[in-house]
Structure 1
Amino acid sequence: MKNDKTIRNLILCIAFLSIIASAIGIFSKGGPGVNEITSFRGETIKLHGIGLYKNDSVSVAAQGIAQDIVTLFVGVPLLLLALYFTGKGFLKARLLLTGTLGYFLYTYISYVFLWMYNPLFIVYVVLMSTSFFAFTLSILSIDMDRLSTSFDKKLPVKFLGGFQIFLAVALCMMWLGKIAPTIMNNRVPVGLEHYTTLVIQGLDLGFIVPIAFLSGVFLMKRRPIGYLLSSVVIMKGFTMGIAITAMIIGQYIAGVKMGLASVVIFLIFSLFVCFCMVILLKNIKEDQKIIQ
C-alpha cells in the first residue's frame, strides 16, 4: 500500500519521542515548588514550580501532566495497535490510526505554541512535524471514492452529522463567549495568565469548528469526504475526550477553579463522542480495496 513504509517509520518516531516527552513531563522533579509571580499585565500568577513544567501556571501544568498520562498510557498504545492492524489491511484500523494521529498533531501543536519554553521544545517541534506528515499521508492513502461503500447503509448519518454540527456550533459559541467580551471591553481574557494568546481557542475556532461542521454536513449528504472527515473527527475526538477528562481531574486535584458549565459541556461531549465512535465502527464493512 502506498506510503505505508513512510507512515510506519513516522509513527514509530512519534511513539518513541512521545514516550520520552510524556515520561519526563510526568516524572521530572526539582524546582522551588509552587510560587507566585506578577505578570507584565499586573496579574498574580501561581507557577507550578516543579519539573519540566516549572515555569507554567498551576492550571496549565496540571493539564499538561494529565495529557502526558493519557498520551503515554492510551495514545501511544492505541497508535501502535492501530498501526499493527492497519498492516493487516483493516479499514477500521486505518481510520482509527488517522484519527489518533490527529490527536497527536493537535497535542503537540499546543505544546509548541502554548507551553512555556522548556528543554523539550525541539522534541515537541519534531513530534508536531512528524504527526502532521503521518496524518496527511494516512488520509491520502484512503481512496475516498470507494470509502462510502464501506459503510453500512444503516449508518445513522443524520444523527452523527447532526452531532458534529452541534459540536461545532456549541464549541464556537463557548469560545466566542469567552473572547468577545474581552474585545468589546478591551480587557484580557480570564485564564490567560502569563501566556501571550489563546492557543487552544485559536486551534478550535480555526480548525476543529469548521472541520466538524463541514464533515457533519457532508456526512448527512453521504458524500465520500463526509465519511472520511467524520471518521477523523470522531476518532480524534475519542482520544481528545479522554485527555480533556484527565485534564479536568488534574486541575481539580491541583485546586484550580473551573467554570462548571465548561466542565459539564466537555464531559457530555466526551461521552457522546465515545458513543458515536462505537456506532461508526459497528457500521464499517472491511474492504481492503479502498486503501491505496
Structure 2
Amino acid sequence: MAVLESGPRGGGRGGSASHSRAWLWLTVPITVLVVAAAGGELLFDVFRGDSPYLIAQAVGQDLVTLLVALPALVVGAALAYRGSDRARLVWLGVLVYLVYTYVIYAFHIRFNPLFLVYVALLGFSLYALIGGLATTDFEGIKARYARERPAKAAGTFLLAVSVLFYFVWLGEVIPALFSGNVPQSIADNGTPTNGVHVLDMAWILPSLAITGVWLRRKRAVAYALAGALLTFLPLLALAIVVMVFAMALYGQAASVAPAAIFGLLAVASSWMLVRYMRGMKAG
C-alpha cells in the first residue's frame, strides 16, 4: 500500500472537499451488494439455464471481484476519504471494473434471483464513477506529477493496449461477419452477442486510446483517467486468467494461450500502475 499513502485534502473540481468525499460513501452499499452478488453466486445455484461455459467464467470472475476488487475498493475509498489522490484513482479504477462487470451480468446472465442486485450494483457503481470523476481535482492531480517520464510511458502503454485489442477482437468479428457465422465465443457462451466485444470496442478501448493521447499532450483530465484505467486493466486481466482456470476445473475447453496473454497483461499493467503512482508527489 506504499503507493496509496494519504495526500493533502484537496477539494473536488468545482466543489469543496466535502462534495468530493460524499461520493465515496456509495462504497458502503456497493460493498454490501458485491458480497450479496458474488457471494451468493459462489454459494448458491443461481445460474439457471446459462451455458456451463458461461457459468465457469462467472465463477472465476466472482472470485476476483470478491477477493481482489472489493478489498481494493474499500481500502481505496477509506484512504481517499483521508485525502489520498492516489487512492482516489484506484477507487475510480475499481468502479470502472464493477460497471464493466455488471453491465455484462445485467444483460447476459439469464434472469435469476439476483437480477435486482445486478441492476442495483450497476446503478450505484455507475453513479459513483460519474460523481467521483465530476468532483476530482484534475488540475491538482496533474500538478502533483514531478516526473513526466512515467506519465508518458503510461500514455504509450494505454495506446498500445488499445490498438492490440482492437486487432484481436476485430480479427474474431470480421471473419465471422463475412462467413455469415457467429464468433465461437458467442456460440460457447450461448448469448446473443459477446458483451466483452461490445464494451471493449465501444467504451474501454477508445477510452484507453484517448487517455493515452491526452496524457502525452499533458491534458489535466488524462492524469486522473490514466490512474483509473491502469487500475482497471490488471483487475480485468486477472479475472480472465482466473476464468480460464475455472473453465478447466469445470471441464470446459480452456486454452493456455489466453491465460498466458492476460497474465502478462496483468503483470505489465500492475507494474505500470505502480510506476505511474510513484510519479506523483507524496503529500
TM-score by shorter chain over 0.5: yes
The answer as to 2:25 corresponding to 1:9 is yes
CA deviations over 1:151-170 (Å, ceiling 9, x no partner): 22244233211111110011
Aligned counterparts, 1:226-241, within 5 A:
226-241=222-237
The answer to whether the 8 A contact 1:2-1:141 is kept is no
Residue of structure 2 in register with 1:108 after alignment: 102
| SS of residue in 2 equivalent to 1:53 | coil
Residue of structure 1 in register with 2:4 after alignment: none
- Which of 84, 87, 91 is the equivalent residue of 1:97? 91
> Unaligned regions of 5+ residues in structure 2, if any?
1-16
The answer to whether the 8 A contact 1:92-1:286 is kept is no
The answer as to 2:80 corresponding to 1:78 is no
The answer to whether the 8 A contact 2:235-2:266 is kept is no
In 1, Cα distance between the equivalents of 2:55 and 2:213? 37
- Which of 177, 180, 183 is the equivalent residue of 1:183? 177
> Unaligned regions of 5+ residues in structure 1, if any?
29-50, 288-292
The answer to whether the 8 A contact 2:230-2:272 is kept is yes
CA deviations over 1:202-258 (Å, ceiling 9, x no partner): 000001110001111111122212212211110111222221221121112223224
In 2, Cα distance between the equivalents of 1:55 and 1:256? 16
The answer to whether the 8 A contact 1:3-1:137 is kept is no
The answer to whether the 8 A contact 1:22-1:72 is kept is yes
- Which of 220, 224, 228 is the equivalent residue of 2:220? 224
Residue of structure 1 in register with 2:40 after alignment: 24
- Which of 246, 249, 258 is the equivalent residue of 1:262? 258
Q: Residue 137 of structure 1: CA displacement?
A: 1.0
Aligned counterparts, 1:39-188, within 5 A:
51-188=45-182
**Structure 1 or 2: larger helix share?**
2
Q: Residue 286 of structure 1: CA displacement?
A: 3.7
In 1, Cα distance between the equivalents of 2:259 and 2:181? 24
The answer to whether the 8 A contact 2:41-2:62 is kept is yes
Pairwise CA RMSD: 1.6
Residue of structure 1 in register with 2:273 after alignment: 277
Residue of structure 2 in register with 1:247 after alignment: 243
| SS of residue in 1 equivalent to 2:183 | coil
Residue of structure 2 in register with 1:40 after alignment: none
In 2, Cα distance between the equivalents of 1:163 and 1:10? 31
In 2, Cα distance between the equivalents of 1:74 and 1:157? 25
- Which of 192, 195, 209 is the equivalent residue of 1:196? 192
CA deviations over 1:138-185 (Å, ceiling 9, x no partner): 111212123211122244233211111110011111111111011111
| SS of residue in 2 equivalent to 1:94 | helix
Q: Give the TM-score normalised by structure 1.
A: 0.86
Amino acid at match of 2:34: S
| SS of residue in 1 equivalent to 2:186 | coil
Q: Give the TM-score normalised by structure 2.
A: 0.88
Aligned length: 265
In 2, Cα distance between the equivalents of 1:9 and 1:178? 41
In 2, Cα distance between the equivalents of 1:152 and 1:104? 31
In 2, Cα distance between the equivalents of 1:203 and 1:185? 23
